[in-house]
């Protein structure tokens, strides 16, 4: 395993960043893991996105069935690649990052996650926000196998929460980056307990960065057709 944490964004040039990542990647053996972590700033997320572009630029990996690696830009602005790379986290797809399309600038949405850290010389804590990427080199298992252990109730992973769930009185709004390489907003009500027991409760307990299971289109339609037991208006939308 190679971990590059809060390092690349401080380097003097993009060429130096490329060389550092390339060196770490070349030193990894098969099934080795590369972890890149940067501050959740436009610069830090831009560095992580650049490494991600290098990972999806190569066709030597093992994308999951139905993944959209072919949706990556045909002309890469990067001048290095990571052959045999599979994205383990946070992305559930090998498509172009929907948050990095058109570049990353101040005010743009970034793929970031929070962690509570202790303040030095103090008993207080603060929230630190970071962007990260985990890659596996020449994986011996396909991406379905990589995520299967993370799935709930034997369902496939549909997406990851990229913002805190918005909890309302009778529903929860989830902002997900899906396995189709798109940002999507889901509204979950109690009727979804008919699809997966306690799914509504799980939606209320879902944390920022948590994984959400896949529900087939047929199951989604069935959930919409039946009215709520408590008489609430159906507000589920895709």
Among 28-32, 45-49, 94-98, 140-144, name the one with the lowest average pLDDT: 140-144
Classify 212 as helix, strand or coil: strand
CA pseudo-torsion sign 132, 135, 150, 63: positive
Tens digits of residue pLDDT in 178-188: 988 889 998 98
What predicted TM-score, i.e. pTM, was given to this entire model?
0.74
Is 37 buried (19+), middle (13-18) or exposed (0-12) by CB count in 10 A? middle
Tens digits of residue pLDDT in 151-163: 444 457 889 999 9
Closest-CA residue to 85 (of 56, 45, 51): 56
Q: How many residues does the chain have?
A: 238
Among 105-114, 171-180, 201-210, name the one with the lowest average pLDDT: 105-114
- Angstrom CA distances, 139 to 33, 142, 211, 229, stand at 9, 7, 21, 47
């Amino acid at each position: 395993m190679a971990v590059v944490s809060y390092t690349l964004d401080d380097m003097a040039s993009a060429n130096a960043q490329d060389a550092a990542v390339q060196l770490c990647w070349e030193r990894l053996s098969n099934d080795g893991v590369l972890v890149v972590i940067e501050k959740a700033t436009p610069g830090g997320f831009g560095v992580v996105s650049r490494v991600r572009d290098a990972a999806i630029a190569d066709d030597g990996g093992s994308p999951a069935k139905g993944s959209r690696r072919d949706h990556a830009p045909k002309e890469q602005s990067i001048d290095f690649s990571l052959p045999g790379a599979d994205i383990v986290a946070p992305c559930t797809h090998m498509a172009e990052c929907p948050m990095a399309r058109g570049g990353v600038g101040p005010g743009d949405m970034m793929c970031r996650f929070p962690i509570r850290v202790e303040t030095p010389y103090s008993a207080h804590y603060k929230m630190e926000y970071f962007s990260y990427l985990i890659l596996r080199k020449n994986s011996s298992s396909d991406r379905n196998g990589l995520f299967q252990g993370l799935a709930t109730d034997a369902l496939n992973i549909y997406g990851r929460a990229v913002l805190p769930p918005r909890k309302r009185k009778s529903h929860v709004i989830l902002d997900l980056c899906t396995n189709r390489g798109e940002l999507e907003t889901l509204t979950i009500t109690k009727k979804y307990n008919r699809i997966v027991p306690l799914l509504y409760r799980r939606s209320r307990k879902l944390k920022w960065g948590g994984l959400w299971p896949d529900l087939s289109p047929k199951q989604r339609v069935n959930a919409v057709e039946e009215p709520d037991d408590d008489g609430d208006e159906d507000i589920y939308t895709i």
